[in-house]
Amino acid sequence: MGTLQATEALKAITGIGTSMDGRLLMWDALSMRFSELTLAADPACPVCGPAGVRA
């Protein structure tokens, strides 16, 4: 998990690759499977809403 987080940080810092912005990566340790959900921004959220600060 730490490696995945570090990779996302490096992608954000360097501007290369495709970020996980708007997506949630889930890991099932028992079955060793990853799944991904696409999430919409919440218009009322001060971070991800229209007036929010985006990285």
pLDDT, tens digit, for every residue of 5-18?
Answer: 999 999 999 999 99
pLDDT band at 53 (very low <50, low <70, confident <90, very high): low
pLDDT at 18: 92
pLDDT at 55: 53
Residues in the chain: 55
pLDDT, tens digit, for every residue of 5-52?
Answer: 999 999 999 999 998 988 999 999 999 999 999 988 888 888 777 776
Please return the burial class of 48, using the count of CB atoms within 10 Å of its CB with bins 0-12, 13-18 and 19+: middle
pLDDT at 54: 57
- Identify which of 22, 11, 15, 26 has the alpha carbon closest to the alpha carbon of residue 45: 22
Q: What is the pTM of this model?
A: 0.64
Domain positions in the chain:
1-55
